[in-house]
Amino acid sequence: MSDFVIDQKEIERASELLRAGQLVAFPTETVYGLGADAGNVDAIAKLYKVKGRPGNHPVIVHLSELAAVDNWAYLSKEARLLGETFWPGPLTLILPRKAHVSTLLTGGQDTVGVRIPSHPTALALLSTFGSGVAAPSANKFGKLSPTTAAAVKEGLGEEVSMVLDGITPDIGIESTIVSLVGEPSILRPGMLLPEDIAAVCGLELKLAYLKSEAEGESEPVVKAPGTLDSHYAPQRPLLLVERGKLGEVLLELGHKGLTCNLLAFADSQSLIDSVAQDLADKVSIDRSLFVEGQAKDYARGLYGNLRHLDETGAASCIVVEEPPGDSAWHGVRDRLKRAGHGSSLQSLFLSV
């Protein structure tokens, strides 16, 4: 797909549809977005309806250039510095909103999320449209985010007027969300890492997304619905298993008569193969995907892999080998934890 050529006629048609209050899905470097004219309250209402998203969950306004951010939000010195450094790119800033910005976009809050994506198709659409495009990920609320045009069509079908195609998202998971309102915090981890953000703006950033891992921590100051405990979920129950416990868990699943599709690291392959061979009558791995241990590659393939394991074969569940804990993996770990949270299996195995 790297030789994909942007069709300006298609971009203009998409832009016209947005102007007419319709919804257009488009690729970004993170995941596909479901776009609506951010200045049209009827279009925003349609967006929430199609997405199936509760009204108090804000959406991100996408723009083509830093100068346009001033029309939507107040940029502090630090915010401007972050924008200049990381935009276009996988960063969303939560900033104080300008008075005219509809609270329909902001979930009733006085803040607005803004982002300038780097994907060429997204940028072409945004600059042709010439104003803000409100765009959540182009999936139904709570489902896996799409990283292909086909996945968008499968999830939203006729409800979206047009799906723009383009080069495959290079990042693969949603943007890092940084709030610069109140205590500077990272609300959602992504592939742009906390240390890189802190190094540029000189602020100490609270890692609000770690709240559930840190005992007794209270809710983040600004609530981001993407941080609902259960989100980004496949249909099949997903079980996230600590490294080193995979053999044990697979055996236990076999005892319970459950089959699984497996997502594990390449360096665990021989161990798993030997467990599967030795205990063929007790372990039922239906399909397996083994991935290399680089966070960037893992993130790029994550939603496609989960989708595949969710739709392939007849397994009762998906088992995922937990990635490492260092900050390069925070985004991936966050999505996997949410995909597993609340699944009956995860609680069954909490003691393993």
Tokens of 212: 């559930």
Residue 51 Cα distances to 21, 44, 233, angstroms: 15, 10, 15
184 lines the binding site for ligand TXA (CB under 6 A): no
Q: Which of 83, 88, 113, 247 binds ligand TXA (CB under 6 A)?
A: 113
Torsion of the alpha carbons at 72, 74, 76 and 79, rounded to the nearest 10: -20
Phi, psi of 193 (to 5 degrees): -90, 150
Least Å distance, CB 341 to ligand TXA, is: 15
Rg from Cα positions in the chain: 21
Q: How far apart are CA 79 and CA 73, in angstroms?
A: 10
DSSP summary character for residue 326: S
* 111-115 sheet: strands from edge to edge: 162-163, 24-26, 33-37, 133-134, 60-62, 111-115, 91-96, 176-179, 185-188, 206-207
Reference 330, options 257, 238, 227; nearest CA is 227
Residue 182 Cα distances to 57, 204, 205, angstroms: 19, 12, 11
CB count in 10 Å sphere of residue 249: 19
Residue 121 interacts, among ligand TXA, Mg ion, none and using kind-specific CB cut-offs from 5 to 8 Å, with none
Least Å distance, CB 291 to ligand TXA, is: 21
For the chain, count helices (H), then strands (E). 13, 14
Q: Please give the residues from 214 up to 243 whose contact with ligand TXA meets the rule CB under 6 A.
A: 222, 224-226
Q: Which among 119-127, 131-139, 203-211, 300-308 is the span making contact with Mg ion, rule CB under 5 A?
A: 131-139
92 lines the binding site for Mg ion (CB under 5 A): no
Residue 83 interacts, among Mg ion, ligand TXA, none and using kind-specific CB cut-offs from 5 to 8 Å, with none
User: Mask: binding to ligand TXA, 269-298, rule CB under 6 A, as x and -?
Assistant: ------------------------------
Residue owning tokens 């346009």 = 68
Q: How far apart are CA 352 and CA 329, in angstroms?
A: 23
Q: Which of 131, 137, 179, 185 binds Mg ion (CB under 5 A)?
A: 137
Torsion of the alpha carbons at 205, 210, 212 and 217, rounded to the nearest 10: -30
Q: Which among 124-132, 137-145, 278-286, 336-344 is the span making contact with Mg ion, rule CB under 5 A?
A: 137-145
Q: How far apart are CA 297 and CA 291, in angstroms?
A: 8
Residue 40 interacts, among Mg ion, ligand TXA, none and using kind-specific CB cut-offs from 5 to 8 Å, with none
Q: Which among 70-78, 104-112, 274-282, 298-306 is the span making contact with ligand TXA, rule CB under 6 A?
A: 104-112
Q: Please give the residues from 47 up to 86 whose contact with ligand TXA meets the rule CB under 6 A.
A: 57-60
Residue 57 interacts, among ligand TXA, Mg ion, none and using kind-specific CB cut-offs from 5 to 8 Å, with ligand TXA
148 lines the binding site for ligand TXA (CB under 6 A): no
Q: Is cis: bond before 88, omega within 30 of 0?
A: yes
Q: Which of 106, 121, 131, 147 binds ligand TXA (CB under 6 A)?
A: 106
Cβ-based nearer residue to Mg ion, 111 or 137: 137
Phi, psi of 239 (to 5 degrees): -115, 120
191 lines the binding site for ligand TXA (CB under 6 A): no
Burial class (CB in 10 A: 0-12, 13-18, 19+), 287: middle
Q: Which of 104, 125, 126, 135 binds ligand TXA (CB under 6 A)?
A: 135
Q: Which among 28-36, 76-84, 125-133, 279-287 is the span making contact with ligand TXA, rule CB under 6 A?
A: 28-36
Residue 177 interacts, among ligand TXA, Mg ion, none and using kind-specific CB cut-offs from 5 to 8 Å, with ligand TXA
Binding region for Mg ion (CB under 5 A) = 137
Binding region for ligand TXA (CB under 6 A) = 28, 30-31, 33, 57-60, 92, 94, 106, 109, 111-113, 115, 117, 135-137, 174-175, 177, 187-188, 222, 224-226
